[in-house]
Structure 1
Amino acid sequence: MKDILHQNKEFAGIDYTNQAISGREFDGCTFKNCDFSNTDLSNNSFLECLFEHCNLSNIKLNGAKLQDVTFSHCKIMGVDFSGCHDFLLSVEFTNCSLDYAFFGRKNFKKTKFTGCSIKEANFTDTDLTEAKFADCDLLRTVFQNTNLEKADFYSAYNYTLDPEVNRIKKAKFSTQGALGLLAKYDISIKQ
């Protein structure tokens, strides 16, 4: 991976653990079964890339550009997305483990989270307008000063969020899930 620009390449089964890779551009690349755990991917550009069955736990993304990047069946635990470059930031997560991730102070409008474990993650000061959490476990995830307008929580579960400190206008909740909006009141509701 010594080249600066990588276009339409596939990287499969490679162990990048504990390495520092920076100053690279990846355009239309696919990463399959790669281990990036504890790797510093700061200051790289990923455009229309796909990560499948990769371990990206504890990666560093300071100054990284993620544009139209899809993560499928990946382990992305403990990752701090707040250092990512803001310009055209767009990602999608399918069947990923995003436990302990930090998404704070970023624009994740229309981001799709499908079948993901997002336990004890943090979305403080995040814009999640029109985001979709389909069949996602949000146990002990923090939503604080978060814009959740038009966000879809219909099939999400185990979430609690305070409507008084988050913007939830026109957000979508199931009847069962809406109980997570009342958690702070420590009340008992019989069904």
Structure 2
Amino acid sequence: MAQSFWLDTEFIKQDYTQTKLPKGDYENCRFVDCLFSKAFLDNQNFVECTFEGCDLTNANLAHTTFNEVEFINCKLVGLQFDSCNPMLLSFQFDGCNLSVASFYELEIPQTRFLNCKLHQTDFSNASLKGSSFSGSDLKDAIFDGTNLEGVDFESAYDFSIDPTRNSLKKSKFSKDGLMGLLKKYDIVVT
């Protein structure tokens, strides 16, 4: 059965929690205020698409392709991005809730996580070289064996990163953010 192809199409206020999004290739499409919570988005192909105000909480992303996809003000709680197709994987996030999501072992350099909530998000063994967490809340986010070279943490907050377990060469931190690098030492700075 051949997959369908959608180009330059807008999907507005659609509910895909009961009816599945048709399998196919979506190029330069826009999804606005759509519900995908617990939906099956597996084996889909999204190229240069935008998701705005969508709820994808706990959606199944197995083998899904995200190439140059932007998520704006979306709820992406519990998503297993590490189950996506790693080929050409690239996305950006602005104002999204990515709590309890997983980016385990992904190669996602130059990714923007702007003004996002990333509570308990797993970045273990991922490569995030040159990425930005500008304005993001990283409470209990997991960085272990993570390549954070050149990453911008200047306006990120509530993070805890062990410099002995992660690569931080040329990463940017504000003076206030330096405490996030010292938490494991239980040092009191006044």
TM-score range, shorter chain: over 0.9
Counterpart in 2 of 1:143?
143
Counterpart in 2 of 1:60?
60
Give me the identity figure in percent: 37
Structure 1's unaligned 5+ residue stretches are none
Per-residue CA deviations over 1:108-159 (Å, capped at 9, x if unaligned) read 1000011111111110010000000010000011001000000000000000
Counterpart in 1 of 2:49?
49
For residues 75 and 39 of structure 1, the distance between their equivalents in structure 2, rounded to whole angstroms, comes to: 13
For residues 110 and 167 of structure 1, the distance between their equivalents in structure 2, rounded to whole angstroms, comes to: 15
Stretch of structure 1 that moved more, 103-112 or 3-12: 3-12
Q: 8 Å contact 2:4–2:22 — kept in the other structure?
A: no
Computed over aligned residues only, the root mean square deviation of the Cα atoms, in angstroms, reads 1.4
Structure 2's unaligned 5+ residue stretches are none
Q: 8 Å contact 1:22–1:43 — kept in the other structure?
A: no
Q: How does 1:146-157 map to 2 (within 5 A)?
A: 146-157=146-157
Tell me the TM-score normalized by structure 1: 0.96
1:60 Cα deviation (Å)? 1.1
Counterpart in 2 of 1:132?
132
Counterpart in 1 of 2:76?
76
1:68/1:162 CA distance change after superposition, 3 Å: same
Q: 8 Å contact 1:74–1:95 — kept in the other structure?
A: yes
Stretch of structure 1 that moved more, 131-140 or 16-25: 16-25
Q: Which runs of 4+ in 1 moved over 4 A?
A: 18-22
Q: How many residues align?
A: 189
Tell me the TM-score normalized by structure 2: 0.96
Counterpart in 2 of 1:166?
166
Q: How does 1:94-109 map to 2 (within 5 A)?
A: 94-109=94-109
SS at match of 2:133: strand
Counterpart in 1 of 2:115?
115
Q: 8 Å contact 1:26–1:49 — kept in the other structure?
A: yes
SS at match of 2:146: coil
1:86 Cα deviation (Å)? 1.1
For residues 66 and 152 of structure 2, the distance between their equivalents in structure 1, rounded to whole angstroms, comes to: 23
Q: 8 Å contact 1:22–1:41 — kept in the other structure?
A: no
For residues 22 and 188 of structure 1, the distance between their equivalents in structure 2, rounded to whole angstroms, comes to: 55
